[in-house]
Amino acid sequence: MFWMTEEERYQISFPDFVSLFRLGNADAELPKLHDARVLETKEMNFVYPRNMRCSWGKVSGLYTYYAVLNRLFRKTLTPRDCNMSDVTLFQRNFMAAMRLGAPQFSVGDFIWQEIKNLSENRQKICSYSPYIMYMIKKVTGTRFPNDVKHKPLRLPEPPEQEEHEIEEEGAEQQHTQQHGAAQGETGLTGHQDRSDRSRPG
């Protein structure tokens, strides 16, 4: 990644970027969510109760577990300043990666690729500016004046949902884990990864 600060050229490599955010040495070697295609709306059925089929792809109607995660991620790892009603693009893959028993993935690469995609699309808002600003300050050693002091994030309470919806999700998660243990590793949507079928036994 390259940029200019006060007419001086700077750069940072991906491993250094991961190290800068203290994501661990192993993070750079983990599978990368952006290597896969964006999940389609119909593949997101696992984050909604059965009676919320019409909400697939929307923020409304999510199970409490995913609703809370969505609020957290929209303020941290998948910040969005617009289109707050939809779960879009690789946000879907990110949500799928939060399923119980899902394989680990590279958080550093997710942020890196999102910044790259934003830089290539002038119509999008640079919602990752806090990450970029932190990187610039650390690499250049420049101290920028702050207009305000940022307070810790306090998320509002999620709307109440019926108990049977939460229990249903828990049962489905347990079934997925048991099925995965019997069949081998599972992909983002809980199905066996086809790439594993070609591996020698």
Cα–Cα dist 156/174, whole Å: 28
pTM of the model: 0.65
Could you read off the pLDDT of 113-154 as tens digits, one per residue?
A: 989 888 887 666 678 888 899 999 999 998 888 787 777 767
Cα–Cα dist 17/1, whole Å: 9
Q: Which of these ranges, 34-43, 77-86, 191-200, has the smallest mean pLDDT?
A: 191-200
Cα–Cα dist 182/197, whole Å: 14
Q: Which residues pair with 9 in a beta bridge?
A: 4
What does the pLDDT read at residue 180? 47
Domain ranges for the chain: 2-189
Could you read off the pLDDT of 148-181 as tens digits, one per residue?
A: 777 776 766 655 554 444 455 555 555 544 444 4
Q: Is 76 helix (H, G, I), strand (E, B) or coil?
A: coil
Q: Which two tokens stand for residue 18?
A: 């991961």
For tokens 């006060």, name the residue. 6
